[in-house]
């Protein structure tokens, strides 16, 4: 790709689709609408502080979290954009207790269900630190034209047909996969297009960054405590001690470690005995992306994408990133528990 060749997200989606003669363009059309919603959310994120979009709205979501105005803004815009595209028959969101059914002529025949964390890293919104959106797409199990059911959503991560995230950072990026590798697109505000900037991202199988909220240290499993100690020991051959980097926004921590190499860990803690991160719209899409980049994503024992979901908002411990680092923490968990 020469430096002057601009490949927009939509051109890339259509080009990718042309490699699958049987593809009818539905997924391409859906991904195009994800890009549009991302630009709308990005516009508000970039003005946050100048418009009435900061702070809380005084309501709680099903997670028991105080909802921020931007949580709701992002949620509403992704729901509207995906409803109008007609390819999605229902949506599950972190911000809604149950799934949102589209039962009208426009969307009832949609082939896909869409799951999302519309605004990830909400605690960072008011302090101008990077935040994101995470999405996961499945083919529905129920027949087109029927009402979507919970069965359409409770599929293992291995069934995802596409997944990705938008990172509203120093630049705004959209990173996604449909199972043929992962590519990153950077928004060029001067032309309002996401442009291919990170072709076929491959993640280093080793790294020197570990990301974890060490404030929860006392309640970590013994194996995780031992692994943190391992990261902090001096050893020239393995470039230890590693660097600790933790932003508190999953998309930002994962994206940095994806490009540079590293491990992100969210084990069980006192306040989150099953882990804090949500399997369906945080861990599975991130796991799909990480695996497609050559990395690994597990619950400390088992591949995240093979977990059979039993509820929309279920949580799971999450260890993801460079394969050799995830293998190492799993070894400590096997030995120390
Ligand atoms: P969300 O803002 O969508 O609720 O997600 C927040 C998550 C994730 O983004 C981040 O990795 C994690 O919460 C941080 O949790 P702690 O503040 O407990 O470390
Ligand atoms: Mn939240
Ligand atoms: Mn989140
Ligand atoms: Mn969120």
Average pLDDT over residues 165-170: 96
Average pLDDT over residues 24-34: 93
pLDDT over threshold 60, residue 1: no
Query: Tens digits of per-residue pLDDT, 143-154?
Result: 999 999 999 999
Query: Tens digits of per-residue pLDDT, 75-125?
Result: 999 999 999 999 999 999 999 999 999 999 889 999 999 999 999 999 998
Residue 174, classified by CB atoms within 10 Å of its CB into exposed (0-12), middle (13-18) or buried (19+), is buried
pLDDT over threshold 70, residue 4: no
On whether 98 is known to bind a ligand per the annotation, the reply is: no
Residue whose entry in the numeric block shows the structure tokens 């605690």: 123
On whether 122 is known to bind a ligand per the annotation, the reply is: yes
pLDDT over threshold 90, residue 67: no
Q: What Cα–Cα distance (Å) separates residue 24 from each residue in 14, 264, 312?
A: 11, 37, 29
Residue 131 CA to ligand 1 center (angstroms) comes to 10
pLDDT category at 155 given cuts 50, 70, 90 is very high
Residue 272 CA to ligand 1 center (angstroms) comes to 12
In percent, how much of the chain has pLDDT > 90? Answer: 86
CATH class of 209-336: alpha beta
Calpha distance 331→318 (Å, rounded): 15
If you take atom 17 of ligand 1, which residue's CA is the nearest one?
248
pLDDT value for 315: 98
pLDDT category at 265 given cuts 50, 70, 90 is very high
If you take atom 11 of ligand 1, which residue's CA is the nearest one?
250
Mean pLDDT for the chain?
95
Q: What Cα–Cα distance (Å) separates residue 158 from each residue in 59, 116, 288?
A: 34, 17, 8
Fold observed for domain 9-198: Fructose-1,6-Bisphosphatase; Chain A, domain 1 (3.30.540)
| Cα atoms in the Cβ-side hemisphere of radius 13 Å centred on 253 | 26
- What residue ranges line ligand 1, CB within 6 angstroms? 65, 94, 117, 120-123, 213, 248-250, 276
Q: Which atom of ligand 1 is nearest to the CA of 122?
A: 2
The total of other beta-carbon atoms located within 10 Å of residue 87's CB is: 21
pLDDT value for 111: 97
Q: Which two tokens stand for residue 313?
A: 């908002």
Query: Tens digits of per-residue pLDDT, 30-55?
Result: 999 999 999 999 999 888 777 777 77
**Torsion 218-224-226-229 (CA) sign:** negative
Q: What Cα–Cα distance (Å) separates residue 170 from each residue in 19, 167, 176, 189, 312?
A: 33, 9, 19, 13, 32
Query: Tens digits of per-residue pLDDT, 231-254?
Result: 999 999 999 999 999 999 999 999
* Residue-range domain boundaries for the chain: 9-198, 209-336
Query: Tens digits of per-residue pLDDT, 193-213?
Result: 999 999 999 999 999 999 999
Residue 281 CA to ligand 3 center (angstroms) comes to 8
pLDDT value for 222: 97
């Amino acid at each position: 790709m020469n430096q002057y060749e601009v490949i927009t997200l939509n051109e890339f989606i259509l080009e990718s689709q042309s490699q699958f003669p049987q593809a009818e363009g539905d997924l391409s059309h859906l991904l195009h609408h994800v890009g549009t919603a991302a630009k709308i959310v990005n516009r508000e994120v970039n003005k946050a502080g100048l418009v009435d979009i900061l702070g809380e709205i005084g309501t709680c979501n099903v997670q028991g979290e105080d909802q921020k105005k931007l949580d709701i803004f992002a949620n509403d815009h992704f729901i509207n954009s995906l409803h109008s595209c007609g390819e999605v028959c229902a949506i599950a969101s972190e911000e809604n207790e149950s799934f949102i059914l589209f039962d009208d002529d426009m969307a009832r025949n949609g082939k896909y269900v869409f799951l999302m964390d519309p605004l990830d890293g909400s605690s960072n919104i008011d302090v101008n630190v990077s935040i994101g959106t995470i999405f996961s797409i499945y083919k529905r199990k129920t027949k087109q034209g029927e009402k979507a059911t919970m069965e359409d959503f409770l599929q293992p991560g291995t069934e995802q047909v596409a997944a990705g995230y938008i990172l509203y950072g120093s630049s705004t990026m959209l990173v996604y996969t449909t199972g043929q590798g992962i590519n990153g697109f950077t928004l060029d505000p001067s032309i309002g297009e996401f442009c291919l900037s990170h072709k076929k991202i491959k993640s280093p199988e080793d790294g020197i960054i570990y990301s974890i909220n060490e404030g929860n240290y006392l309640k970590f499993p013994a194996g995780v405590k031992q692994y943190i100690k391992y990261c902090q020991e001096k050893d020239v051959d393995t470039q230890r001690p590693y660097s600790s980097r933790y932003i508190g926004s999953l998309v930002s921590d994962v994206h940095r470690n994806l490009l540079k190499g590293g491990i992100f860990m969210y084990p069980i803690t006192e306040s989150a005995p099953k882990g804090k991160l949500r399997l369906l719209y945080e861990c599975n899409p991130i796991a799909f992306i990480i695996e497609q980049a050559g990395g690994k994503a597990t619950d400390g024992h088992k591949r995240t994408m093979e977990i059979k979901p039993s509820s929309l908002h279920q949580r799971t411990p999450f260890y993801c990133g460079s394969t050799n680092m995830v293998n190492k923490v799993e070894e400590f968990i096997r030995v120390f528990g």
